[in-house]
Structure 1
Amino acid sequence: MSDTLTDHPSSARRGAVAGAAPDAAGAAPGVPAAVPDARDGAPAKRRLGGLRWPGRSGHPPATAGAAPDAAEATPATSPATPATPNGAPTADESAAADRRAALDRIMGRVLRVAAVAMTVVGVIGFAASYSTLQGFAQRNGFGEILSKAFPIGVDGAILGFLALDLVKTWRRTPWPVLRLGAHLMTLCTIAFNASAGGAVLDDPVRAAAHAVMPVLFIIGVEAIRHDLLHAAREADGTLIEGVPLHRWMLAPWQAWTMYRRMRLAGIPSYREMQQRDKDLEGYRVWLLQQHDGDLGRASETELLPMTMAPHGYTVAEALALPAKWAAEEERRREEDRQRQEEAAERARAAALEAETRAKVKAAEEEIQRLEAEGRVAQAQSKLTALKGTSSAEAEAATAVARAEAERARREADRITTAAERQAEREAQAEESAREAEAKQRAAAAEQQAAEMEEAAAETRRRAAAKNRKAAEDEAAAEDAEKEKKHAAAEAAEAERRAAEATARAAEARRRAAEAELAAVEAEDEARLSKTERAARRVARMLLAAAGAAGISEADLAAMKPEAIGPLVPLEEIMPVLKASQTTASDRRKDAALLIKEGYRG
């Protein structure tokens, strides 16, 4: 309680905070301004208990929260010192600054004296307790070496705990266990020293003498800690002023209610709280005058300062709430409208993109189907031609061989028959006389028949060769059939590769669509304008055209914008953007500049 109830406000926190609050006048439509103009000629209101505002009646004084200037909000307790030209400090201000500087120098010297004195106190206290603690340790079985280290451990623990507590306090991470440990070790030191000469109650003066130095050292460290906390809170703006002691003595209940409201509303300054109470009371009395002493006639908006005061709002801040709420509602409506427009635009773009992708996919599938049918028809025509040619040649050769064999056989039969008849006639005619000649002629005929038989054999051999050729032709036909099957297999393989190519093309289109969608979402996240989005869309078309033309990124980076633009003609850009030729040309120039600056989709 001593840290918060009786602290005086620091110089850094003094002064009115009224300038931070917005001007209530005009903030809430339909609400009387916190500072009405005294020149508006308003009729005078009746007095309430003899209270009247200085000057013209019917107008409350300017409240601290309503005034835009803090200098006007803070009531002056003394005549204002006129300012010098160009903002130079006045003589009084210079004298006050000199007095503060002199006081700071004096306090610096006092602080150094205190530091030296506390160091001396600590050294004396620890030196005085060393021998006593050593004897205590020896009597309790610590041994020669440990008994010498025991006082250092006890006093070192006190110093370490206090030092760590100061460091953690300076870092805004205090840990109460450190302070508690230091205080417990101090009590142990006092108890060990006091018990060295017997029971404490036997010689209380001696026990008190042993306790003085450690207690003084603890008090000094606590003073340093208190100053560190005060400086840290002052630097963070969290220093909380307490209600002055004289107010607790003169009006304890009002002091308690003010202290409670300060803590609940998070108001660190007592003077600010005091000014807020004055402003609220002034506004209440003025509102009573406006409604002839009946606050029940006031609207809820006019009663906002009284309603919101327990929550830490000033009069001006409370009166400004309706305008703030209206502005927030308008902002939310505008954001909702923009989100709806953007969602509709994205939906239209997605539908158009899906329709375009469907048309492109259908066209590509039709082209691939026609190409596959053409390849199959070409393979079938080639196979049919090969098969027809081989079969015709084989059949022709077989027919020729068979005809030759038949002709040779008939010729041999005819010659044999003729020879036999001739021999028979000659034998009958000259059977007796020319038997020998007949035999000779028969032999000759037989020889001729043998020759004819040989000729027939030769003919049959040629026919066999022809048949063999025909068999070879049939084998060739079978090979052709195999080639046909192989060609069919190749056609099937070609169809499979075409299907795989189609799948890869579909996957590429899907990835391109995903990249396009990601780019559109990135543009939506970046909240780009329609012109910037159109330029980036044309840039992606240029990048795709460059990739199709085999232009590398290095070559593309080296190209001038004038050379990048013609990669995609305006006739392709205009339907995509649904824009005129001039607009499409401008977007293509912007896209070329984007690519030149490093944009890659």
Structure 2
Amino acid sequence: MAAPLQLTRTHRVLIAVVVFGAVIIAGIGFAGSYAAVRELALKKGFGDFSYVFPIGIDAGICVLLALDLLLTWIRIPFPLLRQTAWLLTAATIAFNGAAAWPDPLGVGMHGVIPILFVVAVEAARHAIGRIADITADKHMEGVRLTRWLLSPIPTFLLWRRMKLWELRSYDQVIKLEQERLVYQARLRSRYGRAWRRKAPVEALMPLRLAKYGVPLADTAPAGLAAAGIEPTLIPPAPQQPVLESADAAAGSRAAGA
């Protein structure tokens, strides 16, 4: 189990600033929408209930979002909470827009603050979910955007294996993919372009098992041996102390002189 994420003093200050700013945005949005929603409720015949109707909607949004964040933190999320909260937010925007209709600028102005609030809460939920995953050792890293752009189809297949077999480390997935490509290259060099037809079944079996999340490091030696290839998946890195030893020898000769 991973250790809990440690927050520094700077992190706590930033969190406090963000929470304070989110509260201000929410307060401004709720205060601005109260009069418009109350006036619309009066027009629709709500009577005295129109004075508490806007408060009920705004309080419901806050309670649902707070409960959603709490359940996300303890890793038992309930998506209906967030969906209902955003439905109420959309309803509030629609009620405010109706009060300013048909002025398009007024309708847009009524929607700015709720959109800011939605973005802030979604960012908080994303951060809480990520922290909860890291704390529970369940965090799954994503695939780099540059890899999607440069090689979309192979990246999709890599991402698919990552999700299917719960491979959480991006570096681990890249290493497995490198081993797979190296294994294929060695079979291709041994049997030519038709290696898939000419190679024995035992040599192809590690590639098939790799699709199901079995590391090639466990199966490649037997497969390569069946193909008559030296069972070394990835050649070791070349030794580089030659230059250093030469420098050391030169230094010793200079010291002896």
Whether these two folds match at TM > 0.5 is: yes
How far apart are the structure 2 equivalents of 1:185 and 1:309? Answer: 47
Report the equivalent of 1:110.
Answer: 14
Match of 2:72 among 169, 172, 182: 169
The unaligned stretches of length 5 or more in structure 1 are: 1-11, 13-100, 323-601
Residue 275 of structure 1, CA deviation: 0.4
TM-score (norm 2): 0.73
Matched, 1:306 2:207: yes
How far apart are the structure 2 equivalents of 1:288 and 1:188? Answer: 61
Matched, 1:212 2:116: no
How far apart are the structure 2 equivalents of 1:315 and 1:204? Answer: 61
> Helix, strand or coil: the match of 1:188?
helix
Residue 284 of structure 1, CA deviation: 4.3
User: Contact 1:136–1:192 (CA<8 Å) still a contact in 2?
Assistant: yes
Report the equivalent of 1:186.
Answer: 89
Letter in 1 for 2:124: I
Q: 1:139 to 1:255 in 2, by over 3 A?
A: same
Q: 1:222 to 1:321 in 2, by over 3 A?
A: farther
Report the equivalent of 2:135.
Answer: 235
Match of 2:25 among 121, 131, 143: 121
Q: 1:205 to 1:297 in 2, by over 3 A?
A: closer
Q: Number of aligned residue pairs: give it.
A: 216
User: Contact 1:265–1:310 (CA<8 Å) still a contact in 2?
Assistant: no
Question: Equivalences for 1:225-374 in 2 at 5 Å?
Answer: 225-286=125-186, 296=198, 300=202, 302-318=203-219
Letter in 2 for 1:317: D
Residues 263-318 of structure 1, C-alpha deviation per residue, up to 9 Å, x if partnerless? Answer: 233322221111012223334445667x6767846572x54422311010112333
Match of 2:51 among 148, 167, 171: 148
> Helix, strand or coil: the match of 2:157?
helix
Which structure has the larger Rg over C-alpha atoms?
1
Q: 1:141 to 1:299 in 2, by over 3 A?
A: closer
Report the equivalent of 1:583.
Answer: none
User: Contact 2:68–2:82 (CA<8 Å) still a contact in 1?
Assistant: yes
Question: Equivalences for 1:375-390 in 2 at 5 Å?
Answer: none
Residues 210-256 of structure 1, C-alpha deviation per residue, up to 9 Å, x if partnerless? Answer: 11122211211111111121122222333222221111111122212
Report the equivalent of 1:477.
Answer: none
Report the equivalent of 2:34.
Answer: 130
The unaligned stretches of length 5 or more in structure 2 are: 224-257
Over the matched positions of the two proteins, sequence identity in percent amounts to 36
Residue 129 of structure 1, CA deviation: 1.6
Q: 1:257 to 1:147 in 2, by over 3 A?
A: same
How far apart are the structure 2 equivalents of 1:132 and 1:228? Answer: 33
Residue 161 of structure 1, CA deviation: 1.5
Alpha-carbon RMSD: 2.8
Match of 1:222 among 118, 122, 144: 122
Residue 155 of structure 1, CA deviation: 0.6
Report the equivalent of 1:342.
Answer: none
User: Contact 1:158–1:185 (CA<8 Å) still a contact in 2?
Assistant: yes
